Each structure stands twice: as structure tokens, then as C-alpha cells.
Amino acid sequence: MQLSIDQALAKAIEAHRAGKLQDAEALYRTILQTQPRHPDANHNLGVIAVSLDKVSIALPFFKIALEADPRQGQFWVSYVDALIKQGQLETAKRTLAHGLEQGLSGPSIDELTKRLEAKLHDQKPVFRKIKKGPFTAVKRQVKSTQEQEEGLLIVSRDDFCEKPPRSGK
């Protein structure tokens, strides 16, 4: 007997709540074989991934769920929360701002906003100035090997370098 999408979703949620994550995952994936953009199956696969500390795997599932049904506040919360956990703070900020423009509100959104603001406030500056005579070198604090090779981004007169240039990202 083959299950309908609704039956499979109900069984997946039941398994998920019972902590049978492999069974739940298999059922959610079965749903996605028929309906790849099914919002609940995508969201719940993201939830499972986060619970297993695999946030990078969760992000695409959360994004699809949100795109498929942006009226679900929990989808916004899960996606922005995962972005924060991944350190993708600017993307989290833009996504949350877009949600707020769409009318997103509530206590969980307020808490998420405060957490994001705190993370943004605590974030180390991306640029720092190094004074060297009449010129200022703006050196980017680097994280990846590629960025380390590109460490020095600009050298110009102080007067012309009030703000560091935006990166292409």
C-alpha cells in the first residue's frame, strides 16, 4: 500500500517526534521525490539536520521551505537562526529584514532580532586601518587561505579612503 503525501507527512512527523530520525528522514525524502518543494518536508529535514549539528546541510532545506510558503513564520525563524549559527550574519540580516517587510512579527521574531543584533555588534570588524606615513593601508582581517593571499586590498591617501571598498561578495 502506497501512502499519500499527507499520510507520509503524518507518519514522518510521528517518527520525528518519537526521536526516530532515520525513519522520519526517509519519509520526508520520499515526499520530496514526489514534491521537491514540499514546504513541511523540507523544513523538517532542515530541523533534523540542525538537531544533528549539520547546519550547513539544513540551510538549503530551510530556504526551499521558506520560498515555498513564506507565510509560515517558523520557516523564517528556522532559516535565519541557521544562518546565524553558520555565521552568515549579513544574509541573516537581509533575510530577516525582508521578513519584517512582509509583516513577520511575534515574540520569536523579536528574540531572533535581538540575537542577530547582538551577534552583529559582537562581530569583529572586517577592516582595520594601518597608518603608514601619508598613506593608509586598509587590511582585511582574513579567514580563508584565498583571502590570506589577497590580504592587502587597498592603499590610498587618507583623504580618499574614508570607507573601505565593498567586496564583490
pLDDT tens-digit map of 92-135: 999 999 999 999 999 999 999 999 999 988 865 544 444 444 44
Alpha-carbon distance of 26 to 15, in angstroms, equals 10
CB 46 within 8 A of CB 82: yes
Q: Averaged over 27-51, what is the pLDDT?
A: 96
The pLDDT assigned to 121 comes to 84
The pLDDT value given to residue 63: 98
| CA distance linking residue 74 with residue 43, whole number of Å | 9
Question: What pLDDT was estimated at residue 124?
Answer: 56
48, 16 Cβ separation under 8 angstroms: yes
Q: Does position 141 have pLDDT exceeding 90, yes or no?
A: no
Q: For residues 151, 153, 155 and 157, what is the CA-based torsion angle, rounded to 10 degrees?
A: -130
Distance CA 140, CA 93 (A): 21
pTM summary value: 0.71
- Asked if residue 156 lies in contact with residue 125, where contact means CB atoms within 8 angstroms, the answer is no
What SS3 state is found at 86? Answer: coil
Is residue 161 predicted with pLDDT exceeding 50? no
Delineate the domains of the chain, giving CATH numbers in brackets: 5-122 (1.25.40.10), 127-160 (no CATH)
- What distance in Å separates the CA atoms of residue 129 and residue 127, rounded to the nearest whole number? 7
Residue of higher predicted confidence among 157 and 164 = 164
Q: What is the pLDDT of residues 16-26, one digit of tens each?
A: 999 999 999 99
Closest CA to 111 of 98, 91, 90, 96: 96
User: pLDDT tens for residues 67-85?
Assistant: 999 999 999 999 999 999 9
